[in-house]
Amino acid sequence: MSRIEELPDAHAKPTASQTTPTRPLPSTETPFPIPPKAKNQDDSITPVLPPAMDSVRSYSADEIVQMMKKTPLFMTNLDESGGGGDEDNEENMQLEALRALQYEGTPSEIALGFKERGNEMVAEKRWKDAKEFYTKAILALKAPKEEASPHEEAEKEKERKVEEACYINRALCNLELQNFRSTLHDTSRTLLLNPTNTKAHYRSALALLHLARHTEALDACTRGLALTSTTLASTKNIAKRPPPPPEHAAFLTLHDRILAEQTRADTAAKEKTEREERRKKEQRTLKAAIHARAIRVRMTSNPPDLEDAAMRLLPDPLSPTSTLHFPVLLLYPTHGESDFVKQVAETEVWGEVLGMVLGDKLPWDAEGEFKIEGVESYMQTREGGMVKVGRKVRVLDVLGGKDGKVEVVDGVVRVFVVPKGRVRGWVEEMKARKGQQES
């Protein structure tokens, strides 16, 4: 009887003897993510690299080192982490555990470690670094607690003492950094934890002194003096009283300093008030004197900077009978030049003022046209016209009077000085300008 051999089914799995050995496929895992730009590169000449090699070739050596430092195995600092995205959080799942191991212990122990590092920075006068460590200690104490401690009361007392020390030490840092309002914040937090902390009163008084809040500074200093005097007053026998602590002497010195600063500030404020009151009185007197002389004054929205030159009464600015003085601006329109006289009395004759300016030859007057006998003076009227100023006329006669046509603009008397031979042409030019402005 012949044996019938069965043929293998088309869907049957091949036997071991029938399987053809093949090479394993390359892994698609990459040590670093391939940037999108690198993935989309289309270069028909350059052969496609395996994913692992492609990921390495996509970055510079420095970039690879920085990415390696973000993984726990290669980290040199626990603060070196990713940008905070989801990928970084997934890749650094062990990072928080490592940080927890770094600061292992109770909140008071962790805070104490930060405080000691802050104290080291203070010893080196590295105030910013010390402030940062004290802040970390305070944050460590405020971190949520996972489990209740069997010694909860004792732990709370430890935390309170460490927190008090950190706040008062951070106040010192802020004081040295001249962050006086931050100093007040830290000293107030210290006093909430311990109202008898003398350093808090002392540093609070110093910060308030720097902020020129003298009354509050005296109050803080007085409270500190009361605290440091307690031990002295508690001993009735004067002979047996201990010497005052160093803090007491420091508070006394600060108290005297605050009083001296307050006295200087009060004196300066009083003098400033008196000066302001006198200035107002002078302005009122000047205004009354100008009104009594029927002098018209107009101020513009953009007056010139005259420094200390101004209309004033001399010798006594508070007496309306004193002589009125004006700053005078002499304009030479034909030559584009000018002269400025800071004070001209109302009683002076215009020719004398002109002679004082034109007595010497002007440096820009090449032709010698500006001599007192060869020039004429004009002032502009309120309507825009011109009025001639004679050499024998007093300044007050030109400016004052019920029928006065001129005005003092921005506290300055403006006078045009023109050579006689050029007066006609200049007047025609002024008329033409006025006509253009009116049209």
Residue 320 preceded by cis peptide, ω within 30: no
Contact 400, 376 (CB under 8 A): no
> What's the pLDDT at 52?
67
Specify the pLDDT at position 65. 74
Q: What tens digit of pLDDT does each residue of 233-255 get?
A: 555 555 555 667 788 899 999 99
Taking the whole predicted model, whether its pTM rises above 0.75 is answered as no
d(CA 370, CA 417): 9
Would you say residue 404 has pLDDT above 70?
yes
Q: How confident is the model at residue 40 (pLDDT cuts 50, 70, 90)?
A: very low
For residues 420-428, give the mean pLDDT. Answer: 91
Residue 126: predicted pLDDT:
96
For the stretch 121-133, pLDDT in tens is 999 999 999 999 9
pLDDT above 70 as % of the chain: 74
Distances in Å between the alpha carbon of 9 and those of 4, 15, 19?
A: 15, 12, 15
**DSSP character at residue 412:** B
Tell me how many degrees the CA angle 7-13-15 measures, rounded to the nearest 5: 80
How far from the centroid of its chain's Cα atoms is residue 356's Cα?
50
Q: What does the alpha-carbon distance between residue 168 and residue 191 come to, in Å, rounded to a whole number?
A: 9
On average, the pLDDT of the chain sits at 82
Asked if 55 and 31 count as a contact pair (C-beta separation under 8 A), the reply is yes
**pLDDT tier, 359 (very low <50, low <70, confident <90, very high otherwise):** confident
**If DSSP codes are grouped into helix, strand and coil, which group holds residue 325?**
strand
Mean pLDDT over 1-12 rounds to: 44
Contact 12, 33 (CB under 8 A): no
Q: Which among 197, 193, 189, 190 is positioned nearest to 227, based on CA atoms? A: 197
Report the percentage of the chain scoring pLDDT > 90. 54
State yes or no: pLDDT of 400 exceeds 70.
yes
Q: CA 82 to CA 100: how far, in whole Å?
A: 18
Q: Which distant-in-sequence residues (6+ apart) come within 8 Å of 252 by Cβ?
A: 225
pLDDT computed for residue 2 by the predictor: 44
Tell me: pLDDT of 212 over 80. yes
The residue ranking higher by pLDDT, 88 or 362, is 362
- The DSSP secondary structure of 361-375, one letter per residue, reads PPTT-TT----GGGE
> Taking 80 as the threshold, does the pLDDT of residue 294 lie above it?
yes
